[in-house]
Amino acid sequence: MNHWRLLFITFLTVSSNYGQVGNPKMEPLLPGNLDQWKVPEKNIWWSLQDSVLIARNDSDKVGSILWTKKEYTDFVIELDFKFGTGTVDSGIFMRGDTERDVQIQIGISGSLKRDMTGSPYVPGLGYPVEAEGVSGLLEVDKWNTLRAMARGDSYRVWLNGTEILQYSLDSANPQGPIGLQLHPGNEMTIHFKNIRVADMK
């Protein structure tokens, strides 16, 4: 096999992998309404304003999780987030909230009292690893883009286009809904927009 043919085959292989993992076809989860989400009864926490989803604690600081109606196995979710007021403690539940599920943190960890954006929280394990390079990427007063992928037992996270985490959880929950968290106990708001997902099963 000549040199140029080998280079061409290598290019096709890399491009194919990038297309499947790095740039999948994304579908909107927030197309100007909450039809794809299970809005909690007597909802006072989640509201839409000009296609921006706003999560806000009530006066009793009661938390809430906004779940997708659909359950996912292997997928990529991408969203833009912006910190609002108060101590922001939020995150993305990747496949439900069982003890074998991973939540990707956004904002201040209630247990560690510091920013853990992009790091995985696992019930019973806490934060088994910490995302790398977040302080140099996170724009505290601006919109940020977070992408998180679940494939089998493996998880990957990107912040503003840079990969910050690879993590594997043995016997991870194989299927479940995606959830956005509004942590209880805080006075806080957080904004989300351009929420989109690619089903990779």
Distance CA 14, CA 122 (A): 32
Check whether 63 has a pLDDT greater than 50: yes
Cβ atoms of 117 and 159 closer than 8 Å:
yes
Check whether 48 has a pLDDT greater than 60: yes
What is the pLDDT at residue 100? 92
User: What pLDDT band is residue 22 in, cutting at 50, 70 and 90?
Assistant: low
Cα 28 off chain centre by:
14
Q: Residue 64's beta-bridge partner residues?
A: 182
Q: What is the mean pLDDT of residues 46-53?
A: 96
User: What pLDDT band is residue 21 in, cutting at 50, 70 and 90?
Assistant: low
pLDDT per residue over 1-14, tens digit each?
Answer: 444 443 333 333 33
pLDDT per residue over 104-122, tens digit each?
Answer: 999 999 999 999 999 999 9
| Residues with Cβ within 8 Å of residue 130, at least 6 apart in sequence | 116, 119
What is the pLDDT at residue 58? 86
Check whether 20 has a pLDDT greater than 50: no
